[in-house]
Amino acid sequence: MTVAPAQFRPDPPSSGRPSWRTGPSRSLGEYCNDLSIMLGSLSIVMFWTFGFGILLGAGAVAAGIVANRHPAVEGNEPKALEALLGTLAGAFGIAAGLVFLAAALPQL
């Protein structure tokens, strides 16, 4: 019993795009949308790290504003709500970080 050698297809000629990108490219608004949600949730989790949560929250708010103003997100209600969620999460992370700093600094 013999096994036939594997037949590999050669890659198609390169069109200037990397071969790992298979789907359509995403717009800046979609990237900022995801970035806003990630930074906002991290700012809530990291509020106790003496200012780091505040910085993450500020980044989330900025990315959420950029995402809301992008034309790809502006006309799409679910994406606009995701950007708003990231902005609100960032604002909550900033508020939690400020409350923690106000409580912790007098104890140092």
Question: Quick one: three-class SS letters along the chain?
Answer: CCCCCCCCCCCCCCCCCCCCCCCCCCCHHHHHHHHHHHHHHHHHHCCCCCCHHHHHHHHHHHHHHHHHHCHHHHCCHHHHHHHHHHHHHHHHHHHHHHHHHHHHHHHC
Cβ 77 vs Cβ 34: under 8 Å: no
pLDDT in tens, 3-23: 777 676 666 666 565 556 566
Q: Kindly report which listed range (21-25, 30-34, 46-50, 82-86) carries the lowest average pLDDT score.
A: 21-25
Which residue did the predictor score with more confidence, 94 or 30?
94
Q: How far is CA 28 from CA 56, 63, 71, 72, in A?
A: 19, 10, 10, 8
pLDDT in tens, 74-95: 888 999 999 999 999 999 999 9
Q: Locate tokens 């999460």: which residue?
A: 89
Task: Report the pLDDT value the prediction gives residue 17, as an integer from 0 to 100.
Answer: 58
Task: Report the pLDDT value the prediction gives residue 45, as an integer from 0 to 100.
Answer: 96
pLDDT score of 25 more than 60: yes
Domain regions of the chain by residue span: 33-107
Q: Residue 68 corresponds to which amino acid?
A: N
